[in-house]
Amino acid sequence: MANLDPHVVGRRLRDLRTRRDLTLADVAAETDISVSTLSRLESGSRRATLELLVPLARTYRVTLDELVDAPVTGDPRVHAKPIQAWGATIIPLTARRGGQRAFKHVLYPEARSVPDPRTHEGYDWVYVLSGRLRLVLGEHDIVMGPGEVAEFDTRTPHWFGCADGQPVELLSIIGPQGERMHVRARPKGSSPAS
């Protein structure tokens, strides 16, 4: 953090805030950081600390690296670039085309509150990591909690969103039509418990 130019970070913070059409007062209310501190951060007259950047990243819904526009580091083969779509942040976890593909979704309640069931080719497996997920699947309206799984043919009209006004994190594995997940309940060759 010590090597980051405060003016560069300040421009990035101002750009993120204005792109989201927020005032300094809006951000101050969301982060509990004073308007004057936010103003000094954006002007580059105050050096950003982790204590200040974490709530700002949460408010702007970006990673810390994105917040400060850090250069790409680490393994060059891994580039899970988040996608903002359908009121969610979607992070591809696999890069291959065809076959089963995995995604992490973060759903936001303000954008995903009215069911709008859709269909498409494929088969989906959804695992709730945190929050409460509302799944509308055909005629069913189900609320799922952490650790719960749903598996369905995506030709069935479906929609998922936040059940209680809080964000939801989930994993989704989508496969081609007719390809289902293979779940092994016990090691191969062992006999069921009596």
pTM of the model: 0.53
Q: What is the pLDDT of residues 160-175, one digit of tens each?
A: 999 988 899 999 998 8
Of all residues in the chain, what percent carry a pLDDT higher than 70?
80
Instruction: Tell me the domains of the chain and their CATH numbers.
Output: 6-68 (1.10.260.40), 83-175 (2.60.120.10)
pLDDT digits (tens, 9 = 90+) for 88-100: 888 888 876 667 8
pLDDT at 121: 85
CA 101 from centroid of its chain's CA atoms:
16
Residue 2 scores a pLDDT above 50: no
* Sheet with 133-137, edge to edge strand ranges: 140-144, 133-137, 158-162
Sequence-ordered list of residues with C-beta below 8 angstroms from that of 44, at least 6 positions apart, any chain: 5, 6, 7, 8, 9, 10, 11
Supply the angle between the helices 24-31 and 35-43 in degrees, to the nearest 10: 120
Q: Which residue has the tokens 């696999």?
A: 94
